[in-house]
Structure formats: structure tokens, C-alpha cells
A and B are shown apart, each in its own frame.
Chain A
Amino acid sequence: MGEGEKKPKFAVDPNSAKFKLNEIVAKHYKEVQEAKDRGEKIGWCASNFPQEIFQTLGIKVCYPENQAAAIAARGAGQRLCEISEAEGYSNDICAYARISLAHMMVGETPEQNMPLPDFVLCCNNICNCMIKWYENIAKELNIPLILIDIPFNPDYEVSDAQVAYVKSQFLAAIEQLEEITGKKWSDEKFKEIMEISNRTSRAWLEATAYTKYTPSPLNGFDLLNHMAVAVCARGTVEAAEAFETLLEEYKKAVEEGTSTFRAEEKYRIMFEGIACWPHLRTTATGLKSRGINMVATIYADAFGFIYDDFDGLIRAYCNVPNAMNLEHARDKREAIVKNTNTEGLLVHTNRSCKLWSGFMYEMSRQIGEDCQIPVTSFDGDQADPRNFSEAQYETRVQGLTEIMESNKGGKD
């Protein structure tokens, strides 16, 4: 996840969703820095920690995962990974963690700077490596760590017992945050934020669902950039408005037959896994040059949280893709594949993310079999450029394309 987009060479229309979304990300980093400069306590936070809680409390936080993605997309992933490795962190550890720990050590990273935290907030619904990563930051900087344990759910549905277990931790976390920052929780304010967050999520989900059209009005890779806003600003009116603008743009594009995918859409695939940020151009070009558009990704669902009350919020965060059982996660993906007429599945075997890459071996097999689509995978990494081979990627994508072509009834 993140905002790895390079500065555009031409002026972007200030009324466009792209402009508004970029502005939100820029404002997000600016506001955290300003809060820090004013002497307010600011935090670093896991991407699947409820953003609504900070919004309600009026606390500024920033997201190391987004930062690491941006740093990697701007070509500095290896430099920061090597700083951590020189300090003794194994290169088997998640590259986001290595980049984040390196940033903590050096304090300034021009490719995407953010102020050092006064507290850290970790939710393990996305992965368990994050616990040690955040523990190390807390220890090194001698700051509080708030850890919310959201265990992997082996059952299909989230149980009331799990909601109660997680809810009690969040209530304690809110008290801790009040104590650390001196800010106060307001139920009224929470209701307001919840409404905005739902509005944002509805627009995000509706906009991302436009990939169901053939051809799709969007290049699926756009979502990887827009997602940063869904992570960091879901509870803001600006985010709701920006995603509503995005939705309008996609509606119009369908009517006019235009698309942000700048090639003829010959094939439609699901891309599984975090983007290979250090080689984003290579991986995206390898698809686009063959007319392959990414129209299906679990990411769209991953950051669209719809709920009615605090318990609903807890339930939603217990039900994020990396915390749900294989059958549930598979069914969600298969529904997306069917809804978008996806013709193939490309899996990023991401050396950084053992969890996601690990379960994809079996899940991708099941999806391929159930949906009758070809599947291939490539080795890479979300932020460490050393774990990717362009030639291997090319061969796998070409092989996938040739099977998709053959499935269309093309000449063998």
C-alpha cells in the first residue's frame, strides 16, 4: 500500500480525483509534521488500525507501511534496507519493517519523510512480524506501544467472543491514548466520524467496483495509489469527496468509453499481493504492453469498512483479508473474479510477506481450479529491489498471456 506515484510531468486538473487524492496525502504528512512541531504527541500506526479512533480523538498519526511503499517506489528501498541490515536485522525480515527501522535510526528520509513518533499503535490483523517491528521501535525510542491483538480467525465468521475480546482492548487503548495525548474521546464525535468513514468507504467500494465493466474505465494499478487515502484519511470529508469525484469520473468514463488504462484491454487479470513497488514500472509495463489490465484485487475490499456502531467497527477490523480463514478469503476473491470476468491470476510471491505469500500457494490453486483460470506467480518483494528478476517476470507473464489467448480460442 502507499503512494508511489511520481510527480506528474503535466499539470493535473485541480477538480480531478487524482489531484484531490494527491492533495490529501500531501496534507496528511504536512499535518502530522505541524502537530509534531506544535509539541503534540504523534503516533506511528499499522495500516489496519481503525483510523476513526484517531480522527475522533483529534490525534495525528502516520503510517510506516505507506511511507515504506513510497520510499521503495522512489528507489530508496535498498539503501534503507541495508541500513537496517548493518544494524543486525536479517534480510529475511519484511522490507517495510527494515525501511521503517532504518528511518527511525536515521531520522530523515528525503524520499518520504515523516516525524519520529511519540507512541506506536500496532494491530496484528495484518501480520505478526509487525509486533516485533513496533516493539523494537518502542524500545529504541523509549515510547509507549499500544498493541491490539486481533488473532487470525480460523472460523468463517467473526464470533461475538472475538468481538468482545478485541473491543475490550480498543476501549483500553482509547484510555491510554487519552492519557498519552491529553485529548478526550467523544461519542458524538465518533458517530460523526463513523458516518464520514462509511461515506468514504461506500464511494471507494463503488468506484473500485467499476472494474466490472469491459473494458474497465480504470487501470487497476491506479487503485494501489488511491488506496493510501483509504488508509490514512478515511474519516475525513475531503477523502469522501475525493472518492465521490473518482466515482463520477469512472461513471463518465464508462458512458464515454474512455479509460485510464492506456492500451487496448485484451486480457483481464487479478493481481494478488502487495505491489512490487521497487519495480512498479517494470511490472506494470509487462502487463500493459500485452494489453493486460488488472481488474481484480482484494485491496479494494480491504480498505472499505462499512459498519453501524462501535461493535460493527470492531467486527470489520476482525474481518480484514489477512486475518480471515482460507475458505472465506478464497470465496471473497472468487466472487471478485466472477464479477469482473477475470481471465487469469498473477500472484506476487512477495519475499517480505510470508503470511500472504504462504497462503496463496493453496488459495491460488483453489481459485484457479474453481474459476477455471490460469494462475502464475513471480518472485519479488514489496520494497527490497534485490528479490526480483525481470526476465523471470517476463516469461511468467508471457506464459500466462499465451494460455489466456489460447483459452479465448486463439490459434495454439
Chain B
Amino acid sequence: MFTLGVDIGSTTSKAVILKDGLEILATSLIKAGTGTDGPGRAIEAVLAEGNLRPEEIASVYATGYGRKLLKNANGEMSELSCHARGVHHLLPEVRTIIDIGGQDAKVLSLGTDGRMTEFLMNDKCAAGTGRFLDVMAGILQLRIEDLEKQADLSKQIVKISSTCTVFAESEVISQLANGVEIPDLVAGICQSVASRVAALAKRVGVKETVCMSGGVAKNGGVRKAMEQELGLNITYSPMAQLMGALGAALYAYDKS
């Protein structure tokens, strides 16, 4: 039996097809989120990769900010529960998940059975989210995927003191005007995200093993900065950005 999970985020759409609630058959990721044709394209792509027709899917669950907009879904769950479920499926030893997406940062606490017992989210502000990194990459004329390489080249981190995206933007521009090295600035930007989200994690109470999920987890610069902030190793899966969709596919399997 095949089930489909679709995670419609603020900037990307992700889809995962599961076989019998266990095996990941196909995945897709489209850089277009809620309110665009991204979800439809993500579904088409995942079906093509899995070589399946829509009618072969037993159940579809949606998650993410656009979860209520997916037509023909059999159900929807919050991205909180879906990330918890997805991560637990692949990394059962994880007790704390730090999920940073396009416009949200979340810290989830998991019980030994993988159930989410507690969560905290960022306040109504883009600081500490993927959107913050997007804006900063834009100012520096870098691609988002190049931030990690740049941060690795840093010799001396330039601290970004503003927590607000708008203020941080002018701070970065001022630093550029002062002639600071781009890699040092990028490392400072990654640290800024990490320190803000680490504060959320400390409020929940960090229990090992800690894992990062969501799109920002792909950025090694932020992961490294987070490890420094929390003083522990962060577990990472290449599936980080697809954990929500995977969780949704698992819920779809439960309900099918």
C-alpha cells in the first residue's frame, strides 16, 4: 500500500511516498510554497519518481502552513506532529528536534515512544528563521546553498547583534561598508540564527539526542553554530527537509 505525505511550507513544497508505512519509495522538493503551483508540482514529481498513478495512493495527508489548502487530502496534521513523527521514524533515539523552516522555528520535545510532549515556537518575527537567511544571502549576493561554504572559510566571526531581520539587514550593510570579509559576516549570520533558536531550545529543556530538521538544517554553518551554542553534537539526516512530509505519509498510513 502506498501513502503520500505533502508538506506545504511557506517557501517550499515537499512530498514523500511511503510503501506499507515503512519504506520511502519516492521524494520530491519544489522551491515554491503555499499559494503557488508548488504543491501540485511536488505531487506530480513524487508520483513520477515512484512511477505511480494518483489512484494507486491509498491515503494522502497534508501538513505545513498550506495544509488546509490541499484538495482531496484525506486529512491534515500540524507540522509539529509530522516532524516529530518523521524524525522518530528515521532516528528513534532523538528526544529534541530543532526544526527551522522558512518562517518558523520550532523546538519539539519527544517522549521515549516518539510522541511530542511539548513544543515551543518563535514569536511573530522572522529572526531565527529561514527567511532571515534568505534576506541576508540576498544582501550578500550569495545563493542560500553557498552560505555553508562561506561560513567554513571564516577566520573571525563578525557578531550580528540585532535580532530583528530588518535591523540585522542594515547592520550587515554597515559591516559590508566597513569592509569586513564576507565569510566572517556569513558565520556571524549563522550564529545569529543559532543563538536565537538555541534560547528557545533551552526553554523547552534540551534532552539528547538532538536533531535538526527543516530546510535550514541543510546549512552546515547553522548546524555548527547550534552545536557551539548548545555544547553538544547535533544529529542530522539528509532527509531533514522532508521530515514533515514523511511524518504526514506515516499519519496517512495510520488512517488508511
Contacts and interface: CB of A to CB of B under 8 A. Distances in A.
Contact of A374 (B65, B114, B117, B123): B117
Given A387-B124, A389-B124, A395 B80 contact: yes
Interface in A392-412: 392, 395-396, 398-399, 402-403, 406, 411-412
B85 interface: yes
B78 A399 contact: yes
Nearest to A411: B254
B236 interface: no
Contact of B117 (A387, A392, A395, A403): A403
A365 B80 CA distance: 19
Q: For chain A, what secondary structure do more than half of its interface residues adopt (helix, strand, loop), or is it mixed?
A: helix
A412 B85 contact: yes
Contacts of A375: 118
A133 to B, nearest CB: 24
Nearest to B88: A412
Contacts of A387: 124
Interface in B39-92: 65, 77-81, 85
Contacts of A399: 78, 80-81, 116, 119
B70 to A, nearest CB: 15
Interface class of chain B by DSSP: mixed
A169 B124 CA distance: 41
Contacts of B120: 376
A379 interface: yes
A391 B119 CA distance: 17
A287 to B, nearest CB: 15
A398 B118 contact: no
Contacts of B118: 368, 374-375, 403
Contact of A406 (B79, B104, B115, B254): B115
Given A395-B78, A398-B78, A399-B78, A379 B123 contact: yes
14 contacts: A349-B123, A365-B203, A374-B117, A374-B118, A379-B123, A388-B124, A391-B65, A392-B124, A395-B80, A395-B121, A402-B78, A403-B116, A406-B116, A412-B115
Given A376-B121, A387-B124, A398-B78, 7 more contacts: A365-B203, A391-B65, A395-B78, A396-B121, A403-B115, A406-B115, A411-B254
